[in-house]
Amino acid sequence: MELLSTSLVDWSRGQFALTAMYHWLFVPLTLGLGVIQAIMETIYVKTGKEEWKKAAKFWMTIFGINFAIGVATGIILEFQFGTNWSNYSFFVGDIFGAPLAIEGILAFFMEATFISIMFFGWNKVSKGVHLAATWLTITGATLSALWILVANAWMQLPLGMEFNPTTVRNEMVDFWSIISSPVAINKFFHAVASGWVEASVIVLGISSWYLIKKRKEEFAKKSILVAASFGLFAVLFIIFTGHGSAQQVAAHQPMKLAVMEGLYEGREGAPLVAMGVINPKKETYNDDVDPVVMAIEFPKMLSWLSFSDVNAYVPGIRNIVEGGYTKPDGKIADSFETKKQMGQTAITALKNYKIAEAAKDTAAMAVHKTTLDANYKYFGYGYLDKPEDTIPNVPLVFYSFHIMVILGVLFLLNFALALFLGWKNKLSDYKWILWVFLWTIPLGYLAGQLGWIVAEVGRQPWTIQDILPVQAAVSSLQTSSVLITFVLFAVLFTVLLIAEISIMLKQIRKGPESN
């Protein structure tokens, strides 16, 4: 076995995480603010009231700042695929490339075309054409997100492909199954709705600041009305899609679900932990130490959330490692040892195929290909050594998941309260509530980041679920070179973030009339 530096894998992962997390600071605000400004402009076109035009133009300016600074930050992720994750990039072939290419075409043509009409077309095109351009801009941005999320979903549930041992590529055989993957559909709606929520939190917070300062009060109240209504809808929608996501995770990534809940021992009628503390004394998956202390639970809710059945069996970490339980499809779950053996058999078959290929022995190639195909679903387990290698960081995923859910509840209450007080025209009477809305802004960003930590850390060690772990996917680079680019990115993105915040604050202080 070739020895690969653990620090190389960790720094490569860290660099990708850093870039993705910074990128996700910009994306959700674009997705959500785009809809909010489009709603305001629609009201303007319907009513002809100038104050709605002013409101739409102000939020469009904030959208523009965020868009300009965030645009192309995701391309750096693609740089990393070619440099740091070359084995992965080669191995996934056109499956990953096709959605990214479509995303590129949409992003650079659809968005770029309509965004210029949206920003520079006021008073140059008719109201209707401008409104259409605004909606098409955000539609283009959302469709861009769709393709990225389709690619991501394939990594969580690889399907629609066939591995070719000659080209060493997973070749696409069913494009439709890839784009209609239930994981992709849920992920798309869940991630986009999280952007809607985040933008609503930000609009609510900034508008509350105007009310606290007794400036632009009519504008602020109108903005709060739209943000709270849209935010409330988005939170309810996110609960719905969250349920769908949980069912997909339960079906295809049971380890992630068990880690999210700190569930080590499977059970029927499993409860959902509302709040809890992970026991730091828990060291291994089978040491019989109670994994969670001080937990507040909803009885049977995890079973219902996962399988729409309050009495369904949910496997724990230990059960997933040891196998032997009956899965929802009626099959018996394989143990880690079985999967590892199958993975090693698949890789051995690949090696033998390579030898047969060099000898031009087509009969032997066919035999080894058959063995490879029969064991391919656990190909990645051939790179793992022990059961612990399949268990993600439990405290990180557990706390990320639960804090995200708690923040979701906070946002729900905030939006409902803002709507109620706005309806009664009493928002300015409760300054402390306005302060809460204002200070919830960073929590909106935090919730989005936590969601991605759950999604991505929760599926470690896999780049492609069950097929390719990180240690097989990473390029053989010098750790020092990855470290240098990590620092470069940290500096570049931090400068961009500081620029974004300072320009936005300046524009917010000026207020809606200035643009």
- Report the interface residues with other proteins, using CB under 8 A: 1-2, 4, 61, 64-65, 68-69, 71-72, 75-76, 79-80, 82-84, 86-87, 89-91, 165-169, 340, 343-345, 347-348, 350-352, 354-356, 358-359, 361, 364, 382-385, 471-472, 475-477, 481, 484-485, 488, 492, 496, 499, 503, 507, 515
Sign of the Cα torsion 463, 469, 471, 475 reads negative
In the complex, minimum distance from the CB of residue 13 to other proteins, in angstroms, rounded to a whole number: 16
In the complex, minimum distance from the CB of residue 80 to other proteins, in angstroms, rounded to a whole number: 7
Question: Within a 10 A sphere around the Cβ of 57, how many other Cβ atoms?
Answer: 18
In the complex, minimum distance from the CB of residue 27 to other proteins, in angstroms, rounded to a whole number: 16
Nearer to other proteins, 338 or 507 (CB): 507
Three-state secondary structure readout of 447-486: HHHHHHHHHHHCCCCEEECCCEEHHHHCCCCCHHHHHHHH
Query: 364 with 356: CB under 8 angstroms?
Result: yes
Nearer to other proteins, 177 or 507 (CB): 507
In the complex, minimum distance from the CB of residue 75 to other proteins, in angstroms, rounded to a whole number: 7
Nearer to other proteins, 75 or 366 (CB): 75
Nearer to other proteins, 170 or 248 (CB): 170
Nearer to other proteins, 74 or 458 (CB): 74
In the complex, minimum distance from the CB of residue 120 to other proteins, in angstroms, rounded to a whole number: 9
Helix axes 112-120, 50-70, angle to 10 degrees: 140
Query: 468 with 379: CB under 8 angstroms?
Result: yes
Residue type, 242: G
Q: Distance between CA atoms of 336 and 319, rounded to whole angstroms?
A: 10
In the complex, minimum distance from the CB of residue 34 to other proteins, in angstroms, rounded to a whole number: 17
Q: Which residues pair with 163 in a beta bridge?
A: 170
Residue type, 227: A
Query: 421 with 430: CB under 8 angstroms?
Result: yes
Nearer to other proteins, 332 or 355 (CB): 355
In the complex, minimum distance from the CB of residue 124 to other proteins, in angstroms, rounded to a whole number: 15
Nearer to other proteins, 68 or 105 (CB): 68
Nearer to other proteins, 21 or 477 (CB): 477
Nearer to other proteins, 294 or 358 (CB): 358
Q: Distance between CA atoms of 396 and 454, rounded to whole angstroms?
A: 8
Three-state secondary structure readout of 186-240: HHHHHHHHHHHHHHHHHHHHHHHHHHHCCCCHHHHHHHHHHHHHHHHHHHHHHHH
In the complex, minimum distance from the CB of residue 283 to other proteins, in angstroms, rounded to a whole number: 23
Nearer to other proteins, 408 or 512 (CB): 512
In the complex, minimum distance from the CB of residue 476 to other proteins, in angstroms, rounded to a whole number: 7
In the complex, minimum distance from the CB of residue 353 to other proteins, in angstroms, rounded to a whole number: 9
Q: Distance between CA atoms of 37 and 474, rounded to whole angstroms?
A: 42
Query: 147 with 100: CB under 8 angstroms?
Result: yes
Which one-letter DSSP state was computed for residue 329? T
**Tokens 């402390």 -> residue:** 432
Question: Within a 10 A sphere around the Cβ of 406, how many other Cβ atoms?
Answer: 15
